[in-house]
C-alpha cells in the first residue's frame, strides 16, 4: 500500500478488494464491477464513471463519491528508434512516478526445433510493483532509487489500462521497478483482476520475477496457480550472489533452492532462471558448470541477460558475445538445459532490463512498430 500517511479521498476502481467491499456494504452486487472495468478499458480517457451503462442508482452514487476511473496519469511516453519498445512514465496519486515498458514481437520471426514458430504479432507489458526497490542489486538502476512506496493493486492494473492505448497486450511480466513478492497482497489481487474479465490475460502468459523471497515463494502456487515464476538467480553460489545482490544475505542459496524444489514438486511448473552476464564476475565456463550442478534436479529455462550499463559509475561491464555463447554452450550442449539469450530492447530509451529508473529522454513518437523475433513467450 502507498506509503503516504493518509488515504486519498478517491480510490481506483481497479482496487478490487476495496470496490467489492464498498459495493457489498451498499447492497450493490459485485457482479457489476467487471462492467465498470470494461468501460474504463474501452474509454481510457474518461473523466468520470457516469457513462457506465446499466448500473443501479446506488452504484453511480458510490462511484461518484469514492472512486475514479484511474488514479494514475500517463505523463509521457518514449519510443525506441526501432519502434519495438515504448516506455511509459506514469504518475501516481501520491506524486511518485513509475515506469512500464511495452515490448513488441513477431513470434513468426523466430524458430523452435528448426521450424518457424507459430503465432504472430504480440506485445508484452513489463509492469512495476513498487516505486523504487529495497533489494539494492548493484547492476540495477532501480536499486539506486532506494524504496519509496508500494503500489496498490489498482495502480498495478492501471499500467495495463494505460498501455492498452498503445498496443494490444498479450503477455505481462512483473519485471519492472520493485520486488513483486515484497508487495505480495497487492500483487496477488492485481493478477486475479488481470486474469479475469474483462482483461482475460491467460495465467500462462503472466510471469512474476523475484530475487527469491522464500516465505512468499512458499505460498505462491497456492495463491497464484498456473502463473509463471522467474527467479533472478544471477550467480551459481552464495558468495558471488551476495556480492552483486546484497539482499541475498537474507535468502541463503541453499534455502532458496529448497523452497524452489518444494514449489516445483507441487506446481509442476517450469521455473525461469534469470542470469545477468557480468564480465569476469559470473560469466566464466566454471560458473556455467556450477550453475548446471545447482539446477540439475529442476525443470528450468535459463535466460541469459546481457548487462545493460546504468551510467558511467557502473562497476560492471557487459560480457563479451563470445563468453555468452560459451556459457550457453555448456548449459545446452553438456547438460541439456534449455537456455535462451535475451534480445535486448529499448536500451536507447533506458527501457531495457535493469535500466528502469524514473526518467525519460526527450525523443517521443507514436505510430507503427518494427517487429523482433519472439523471446519472452516460450512454449513449455
Catalytic residues: 99, 353
Q: How far apart are CA 78 and CA 351, in angstroms?
A: 9
Local structure of residue 32 (DSSP, 8 states): G
Q: What is the dihedral angle through the alpha carbons of 323, 326, 332, 333, rounded to the nearest 10 degrees?
A: 180
The x, y and z cell numbers of residue 30, run together, are 459485485
Q: How far apart are CA 144 and CA 120, in angstroms?
A: 37
Q: How far apart are CA 142 and CA 220, in angstroms?
A: 24
Q: How far apart are CA 209 and CA 233, in angstroms?
A: 10
Residue 232's DSSP bridge partners are: 274
CB 248 within 8 A of CB 238: yes
Q: What is the dihedral angle through the alpha carbons of 367, 373, 376, 378, rounded to the nearest 10 degrees?
A: 140
CB 193 within 8 A of CB 41: no
Nearest one of 365, 309, 322 to 141, comparing CA atoms: 309
**Alpha-helix residue ranges (DSSP H) falling in the chain:** 16-25, 33-42, 57-66, 153-163, 184-194, 214-223, 238-244, 253-267, 285-295, 321-329
Amino acid at each position: 500500500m502507498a506509503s503516504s500517511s493518509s488515504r486519498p479521498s478517491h480510490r481506483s476502481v481497479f482496487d478490487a478488494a476495496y470496490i467489492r467491499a464498498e459495493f457489498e456494504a451498499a447492497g450493490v452486487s459485485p457482479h457489476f464491477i467487471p462492467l465498470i472495468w470494461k468501460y474504463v478499458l474501452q474509454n481510457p480517457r474518461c473523466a468520470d464513471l457516469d457513462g457506465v451503462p446499466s448500473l443501479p442508482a446506488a452504484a453511480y452514487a458510490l462511484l461518484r463519491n469514492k472512486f475514479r476511473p484511474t488514479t494514475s496519469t500517463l505523463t509521457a511516453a518514449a519510443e525506441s528508434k526501432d519502434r519495438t519498445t515504448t516506455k511509459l512514465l506514469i504518475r501516481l496519486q501520491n506524486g511518485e512516478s513509475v515506469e512500464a515498458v511495452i515490448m513488441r514481437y513477431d513470434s513468426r520471426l523466430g524458430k523452435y526445433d528448426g521450424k518457424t514458430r507459430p503465432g504472430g504479432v504480440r506485445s508484452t507489458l513489463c509492469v512495476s510493483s513498487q516505486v523504487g526497490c529495497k533489494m539494492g542489486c548493484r547492476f540495477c538502476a532501480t536499486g539506486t532509487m532506494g524504496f519509496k512506496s508500494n503500489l496498490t493493486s489498482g495502480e498495478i492494473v492501471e499500467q495495463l489500462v494505460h498501455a492498452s492505448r498503445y498496443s494490444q497486450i498479450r503477455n505481462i511480466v512483473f519485471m519492472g521497478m520493485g520486488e513483486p513478492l515484497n508487495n505480495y497482497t497487492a500483487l496477488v489481487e492485481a493478477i486475479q483482476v488481470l486474469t479475469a474479465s474483462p482483461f482475460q490475460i491467460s495465467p500462462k502468459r503472466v510471469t512474476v520475477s523475484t530475487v527469491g523471497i522464500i516465505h512468499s515463494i512458499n505460498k505462491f502456487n497456492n495463491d497464484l496457480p498456473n502463473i509463471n515464476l522467474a527467479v533472478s538467480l544471477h550467480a551459481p553460489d552464495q558468495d558471488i550472489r551476495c556480492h552483486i545482490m546484497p539482499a541475498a544475505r537474507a535468502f541463503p542459496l541453499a534455502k532458496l533452492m529448497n523452497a524452489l524444489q518444494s514449489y516445483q514438486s507441487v506446481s509442476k511448473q517450469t521455473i525461469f532462471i534469470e542470469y545477468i552476464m557480468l564480465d569476469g564476475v559470473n560469466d566464466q565456463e566454471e560458473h556455467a558448470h556450477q550453475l548446471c550442478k545447482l539446477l540439475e534436479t529442476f525443470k528450468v529455462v535459463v535466460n541469459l541477460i546481457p548487462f545493460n550499463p546504468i551510467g558511467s559509475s557502473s562497476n560492471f561491464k557487459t560480457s563479451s558475445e563470445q563468453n555468452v555463447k560459451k556459457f550457453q554452450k555448456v548449459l545446452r550442449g553438456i547438460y541439456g538445459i534449455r537456455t535462451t539469450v535475451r534480445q535486448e530492447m529499448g536500451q536507447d530509451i533506458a527501457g531495457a532490463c535493469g535500466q528502469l529508473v524514473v526518467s525519460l529522454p526527450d525523443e517521443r513518437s507514436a505510430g507503427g512498430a518494427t517487429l523482433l523475433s519472439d523471446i519472452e513467450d516460450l512454449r513449455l
